[in-house]
Amino acid sequence: MKKSILLIFTTSLIIFSGCKSGRGSDPKTVLNHFFDALSNKNIDEAKKYVTKDSEGMMDMVEMGMKNIPDSAGNAMYNKENMEMGNDIISGDRATVPIKDKKSGEETDFVLKKEDGEWKVAFDKSTLMEMAQKKMKEHGINGMGELKNGMDENMDSLQNHLKNISKEDMQHAQKMMDSAKKVLNEMQKNAK
């Protein structure tokens, strides 16, 4: 009887520890789970895969997702449009390059080890670091150039949006207003 109980306990321990380590065992797996949750607009699930410092940004993502149609959210995080490169691990930090198949644009997502598991770093400082890297890649030296470029892109986007339904137009306008607020906040923090 004691051997049976010991065997059941040991088996359970192995199974449960395997489940836990499978969740955060490697950066690519964690990032895949994170994108799956975002594509399903399941922020509570996505929060399981981010660092503790990222929870505030995830709350902002949740508010933003409430203002976009389901089809737009699904398209934004559709893994079929992404090509995930090999992770590069350096101690407790990893980067995973994600290439947008449509635009060819590549972005390095940062993950950090937290309590022994890989977590997506979706906090303000990491996102700023990612944005600055992208700006350098595109030859943008400062926030002023970024703002001018975004203003031009938003004007162009507004012209394209004239052919969209009134409801979708309202959602798009909310998204543009949110983007302008984030840009203004980034400019304040950059000073």
Q: What is the mean pLDDT of residues 159-173?
A: 59
Using CA atoms, how far apart are residues 27 and 171, in angstroms rounded to an integer?
33
Residue that finishes a domain, picked among 63, 91, 123: 123
Structure tokens at 70: 């389901």
In this prediction, residues 57-78 reach a mean pLDDT of 72
Judge if 52 and 89 occupy the same domain.
yes
Q: Over 50: is that where the pLDDT of 1 sits?
A: no
Let me know if residue 161 belongs to a domain: yes
Rounded Cα distance between 70 and 39, Å, is 9
Give the gyration radius of the chain's Cα atoms. Answer: 20
Residue 7 lies in a domain: no
Residues 39 and 81: their CA atoms lie apart, in Å, by 12
In a domain, 5, yes or no: no
* 183 located within any domain: yes
In this predicted structure, the answer to whether residue 97 has a pLDDT above a threshold of 50 is yes
What is the DSSP-derived secondary structure letter of residue 26? S
Tokens at residue 189, please?
A: 């923090």
With respect to residue 81, please indicate whether it lies within any of the assigned structural domains.
Answer: yes
Residue closest to 71 by CA, chosen among 179, 182, 177, 164: 164
CATH number at residue 62: 3.10.450.50
Q: How far apart are CA 22 and CA 16, in angstroms?
A: 10
**Rounded Cα–Cα distance for residues 96 and 170 (Å):** 35
Is 174 part of any domain? yes
Quote the pTM value: 0.60
For residues 113 and 57, membership in a common domain is answered with: yes
Residue 73 domain-assigned (yes or no) = yes
Q: Is the pLDDT of residue 28 over 90?
A: yes
Range of the domain at 158: 140-191
